[in-house]
Amino acid sequence: MNRKLNYNKWVKYIHNYQLNKLNKMKVKIQQRSVYHKFTEIEIEVPTLIDQETEVQEWLMENEDLWSAEMDDAVYKSEYVFGTGLGDYGGMDQDGDSEWRYQCPNGYGGHL
């Protein structure tokens, strides 16, 4: 309390204080945190198909052989902080979800 104020100045001081208190704005503080899940499973593919030209087609035609296992693995996997784009090779930064395959010879691609 300021002792040098007379009654009128004190009333004005209190009034201004109350106005300032009532006229405060609320500011929202926001944060966007990105988490991802990464899962991989291994399935057996016939060795007679060409790794560079036929694997993608075979996987898409036989999705029923591996999709439930992948769904279960995704469900059980843990969330990891960050986008994961730099952690795994061949990931596309523009996609929200991504499916890839990788052959033993290093060839792979998107599904």
Provide, for the chain, the percentages of residues in helix, strand and coil under a 3-state DSSP scheme, each rounded to the nearest 5: 30, 10, 60
**Residue 89 scores a pLDDT above 70:** no
Does residue 7 lie in a domain region?
no
Does residue 64 lie in a domain region?
yes
Predicted TM-score (pTM) of the model is 0.64
Q: How far apart are CA 110 and CA 59, in angstroms?
A: 11
Q: What percent of the chain has pLDDT over 90?
A: 36
**Residue 1 scores a pLDDT above 70:** no
- Total domains in the fold of the chain: 1
Question: 10 falls in which pLDDT band (50, 70, 90)?
Answer: confident
Does residue 5 lie in a domain region?
no
Does residue 4 lie in a domain region?
no
Q: How far apart are CA 50 and CA 67, in angstroms?
A: 22
Does residue 24 lie in a domain region?
no
Query: What are the pLDDT digits (tens) for 48-71?
Result: 988 888 999 999 999 999 999 999
Question: For the purposes of burial, counting CB atoms within 10 Å of the CB of 94, is it exposed (0-12), middle (13-18) or buried (19 or more)?
Answer: exposed
Does residue 27 lie in a domain region?
no
Does residue 51 lie in a domain region?
yes
Task: Take residue 77 and report the two structure tokens written for it.
Answer: 């996997």
> Are 93 and 46 spatial neighbours (Cβ–Cβ below 8 Å)?
no
Q: Which domain holds residue 77?
A: 35-110
